[in-house]
Amino acid sequence: MANEVALARMGLRERKKFQTRRRLMATALELFAERGFDKVSVAEIAEAAEVSKMTVFNHFATKEELVLRPLEEHTDDVAKAVRDRAPGESAVAAVRRHYLAAVEERDASIGLDGEPLVIQLTRLIMDTPVLLTRAHAALVRSSELVAEVLAEETGDLLMARVAAAQLMGTRATLVSENHRRLLLGEPVDSIAPDAARLGARAFDLVEHGLGDYATRR
């Protein structure tokens, strides 16, 4: 979701488009919450939002996009952080830095936005198999994009995929924990300090390798 600063920077036309998309999403989520995702049509969403069905499709190509657009807009975020890292910075350091910055900003993309609309959207995805499957596909695509960046630098696609899987798997696990606590009703400002601490610890584990972690005694 766009914050107030980002919204203020938009031109009038862009702001109107954003507000229309937001209204359509809010209307759709309300109907989905009442009746279930599969039992609501695009025509019913348009009617409830007092727009034409074509207007809905002008902003969202599919019904799933009404829920998943905010998530899918962040598919290449981690790959960009890795691609744009400074000389001397490792891939894991770049992903750690990107994640911790998102914690500091209370970013919705990592489950740290307590806005009711965001919480409602998250709960709907978790409770709807078709949406959860598509959300997982977005995660897989994110990992592929990271692997592509690493492979360009190293020339080794297989090891790039192994590294990307570790990085994105770690990040996804951290985000999942943020979502779990958010859906339990915990305030974001209570979750964030733990998210930062656990994030640093988790990426340290990736950076230094499993080594003797969980050696059986």
pLDDT at 49 exceeding the cut of 70 = yes
Torsion of CA 81, 85, 89, 90, to 10 degrees: 40
Q: Greater confidence, 190 or 211?
A: 190
Task: Classify residue 6 as exposed, middle or buried by CB count within 10 Å of its CB (0-12, 13-18, 19+).
Answer: exposed
pLDDT given for residue 216 in this prediction? 83
pLDDT in tens, 162-186: 999 999 999 999 999 999 999 999 9
pLDDT at 189 exceeding the cut of 80 = yes
C-alpha separations of 71 from 39, 107, 111, 211 in Å? 22, 12, 10, 34
Asked if residues 88 and 126 have their Cβ atoms less than 8 Å apart, the reply is: no
pLDDT in tens, 124-163: 999 999 999 999 999 999 999 999 999 999 999 999 999 9
Q: What's the CA gap between 43 and 120, in Å, rounded? A: 21
Q: In the chain, what are the domains?
A: 4-61 (1.10.10.60), 69-208 (1.10.357)
